[in-house]
């Protein structure tokens, strides 16, 4: 395949040794001046990388394991991203006090932001005036925006959904709002994300087959309206990708029907939606594997809202390329740290005098500088710095997991890596 330029550095074959994604190799040092130099260097590097992107959104496979796990490259207008890829969730165009350079240093190249929340605050006018989400966040990587469908599903009873869209009241000022396929696309165009999502209808996993079919068919109609809305948008938004979403709940026949309909439409990628809504791990894995096998091999496959490190391991094995989840930062707020030996609850008294890093195998900023004892102190006191540091580490852990899986796929050792990681990552016991 062509020698792509990666978003964040020169392309290296995945068959060659790669730097650990949570590493900060080349950092000028731990001094304040050195940290400032590193931030400036990182920003300059990202700006240079952004200039190598193209308007086209393309996906190329590098390797496929016999089990179905895939390693590839997603080319966007802001550069090329190696897959499988995890996208931390910057709901309100920020990650709970974590600076963009710190996020970049974890190996993160794609962020997800939320159309529903950004529509309500700060609103389309602010994004248009201030040059879009990348300029506002000073983020030169890729941004994917979800459509707001899940947030509408999560609202209390004060919302109604009909063919036109979802009617609800703002959580900020109680004003009446309409989120439709057209307004969702218009808002995502104002945000300026690199990848947009169609508006879909999310329903509980307990919905019967008739109700699931109704929601699925409306999602199909909304998908066509989303495509029409993109075509009618401003010329500057023409290079924004748009992904379709396959629905169907836990019903295999509906999943097959939805995949057939959605993949016949001219989307740049496809998402597996309607999971992680209470269906249970076994059903989720079965529906994920079934749906992934129905999607075109030459386009990216995105599993929405999933999940734990073990979920990612299982889903990569099923052929999924892209993931997002709030867990790395959400769990940090509660004092939890992900490691390759299990999950640590840093508030436990046993860590009070512990002089070791969170994960001895991790080379992220947090593990290189701070002890479990210090992080225990911060977490017990609910200090903002503790949440920030645990968030940085957790994101770095997810990115390292992605890099390890990618390397294993390319070298033909993914089954061995799966057997190595699955027991520890599947454990729910807190250490």
Q: How far apart are CA 330 and CA 189, in angstroms?
A: 28
**DSSP result, 109-130:** -EEEEEHHHHHHTT-HHHHHHH
- Based on the residue annotation, tell me whether 354 is a catalytic residue of this protein: no
Which positions ≥6 away from 313 have C-beta within 8 Å?
A: 401, 405, 418, 421, 422, 425
Q: How far apart are CA 255 and CA 314, in angstroms?
A: 19
pLDDT tens-digit readout, 178-187: 999 999 999 9
- Other CB atoms within 10 Å distance of the CB of residue 224: 15
Residue 332 tokens read as 């940090």
DSSP secondary-structure letter at 236?
G
Instruction: Return phi, psi of residue 413, to 5°.
Output: -115, 20
- Based on the residue annotation, tell me whether 146 is a catalytic residue of this protein: yes
- Other CB atoms within 10 Å distance of the CB of residue 87: 23
Which of 109-122 are b and which e, b meaning 16 or more Cβ less than 10 Å from the residue's Cβ? Answer: bbbbbbbbbbbbee
The answer, as to whether pTM is greater than 0.85, is yes
Domains in the chain and their CATH numbers? Answer: 5-334+389-426 (3.20.20.105)
Which segments within 306-398 are labelled E, that is strand?
322-325, 336-339, 342-345
Catalytic entry in 49, 65, 146, 200: 146
Widest distance between CA atoms in the chain: 62
Per-residue tens of pLDDT for the chain, all 431 residues: 444 445 554 333 333 333 333 333 333 233 333 333 333 444 444 444 444 444 448 999 999 999 999 999 999 999 999 999 999 999 999 998 899 999 999 999 999 999 999 999 999 999 999 999 999 999 999 999 999 888 887 776 678 899 999 998 888 888 888 999 999 999 999 999 999 999 999 999 999 999 999 999 999 999 999 999 999 998 878 789 999 999 999 999 999 999 999 999 999 999 999 998 889 999 999 999 999 999 999 999 999 999 999 999 999 999 999 999 999 999 999 999 999 999 999 999 999 999 999 999 999 999 999 999 999 999 999 999 999 999 999 999 999 999 999 999 999 999 999 999 999 898 765 66
- Other CB atoms within 10 Å distance of the CB of residue 76: 27
Closest Cα partner for 18 from 415, 425, 422, 400?
Answer: 400
CB 139 within 8 A of CB 100: yes
Place of tokens 């932001």: 113
CB 393 within 8 A of CB 102: no
- Other CB atoms within 10 Å distance of the CB of residue 380: 16
Q: Do the strands 322-325 and 342-345 form a parallel or antiparallel pair, or are they unpaired? A: unpaired
Q: How far apart are CA 276 and CA 305, in angstroms?
A: 7
């Amino acid at each position: 395949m062509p020698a792509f330029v990666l978003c964040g550095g020169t392309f290296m074959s995945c068959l060659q040794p790669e730097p650990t994604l949570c590493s900060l190799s080349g950092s000028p040092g731990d001094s304040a001046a050195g940290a400032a130099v590193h931030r400036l260097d990182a920003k300059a590097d990202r700006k240079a990388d952004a200039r190598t992107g193209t308007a086209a959104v393309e996906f190329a496979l590098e390797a496929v394991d016999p089990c179905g796990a895939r390693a590839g490259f997603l080319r966007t207008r802001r550069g090329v991203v190696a897959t499988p890829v995890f996208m931390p969730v910057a709901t309100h165009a920020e990650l709970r006090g974590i600076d963009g350079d710190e996020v970049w240093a974890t190996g993160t190249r794609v962020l997800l932001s939320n159309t529903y929340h950004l529509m309500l605050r700060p609103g389309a006018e602010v994004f248009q005036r201030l040059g879009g989400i990348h300029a506002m966040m000073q983020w030169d990587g890729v941004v994917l925006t979800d459509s707001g469908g899940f947030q509408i599903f999560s609202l209390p009873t004060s919302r109604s959904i009909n063919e036109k869209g979802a009617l609800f009241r703002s959580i900020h000022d109680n004003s009446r709002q309409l989120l439709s396929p057209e307004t969702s696309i218009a808002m995502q165009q104002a945000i300026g994300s690199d990848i947009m999502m169609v508006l879909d209808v999310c329903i509980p996993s307990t919905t019967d087959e008739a109700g699931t079919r109704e929601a699925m068919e409306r999602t199909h109609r909304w998908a066509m309206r989303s495509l029409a809305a993109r075509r009618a948008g401003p010329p500057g938004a023409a290079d924004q990708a748009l992904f379709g979403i396959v629905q169907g709940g836990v019903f295999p026949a509906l999943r097959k029907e939805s995949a057939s309909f959605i993949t016949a439409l001219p989307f740049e990628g496809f998402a597996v939606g309607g999971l992680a809504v209470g269906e249970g791990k076994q059903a989720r894995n079965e529906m994920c594997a079934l749906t992934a096998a129905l999607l075109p091999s030459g386009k990216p496959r995105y599993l929405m809202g999933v999940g734990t490190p073990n979920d990612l391991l299982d889903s990569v094995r099923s052929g999924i390329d892209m993931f997002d989840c709030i867990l790395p930062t959400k769990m940090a707020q509660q004092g939890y740290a992900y490691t390759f030996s299990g999950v640590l609850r840093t508030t436990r008294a046993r860590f009070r005098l512990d002089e070791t890093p969170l994960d001895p195998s991790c080379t992220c900023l947090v593990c290189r500088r701070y002890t479990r004892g210090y992080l225990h102190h911060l977490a017990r006191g609910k200090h903002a710095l503790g949440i920030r540091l645990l968030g940085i580490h957790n994101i770095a852990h997810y990115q390292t997991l992605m890099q390890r899986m990618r390397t294993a796929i390319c070298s033909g050792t993914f089954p061995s890596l799966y057997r190595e990681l699955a027991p520890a990552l599947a454990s729910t016991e807190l250490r």
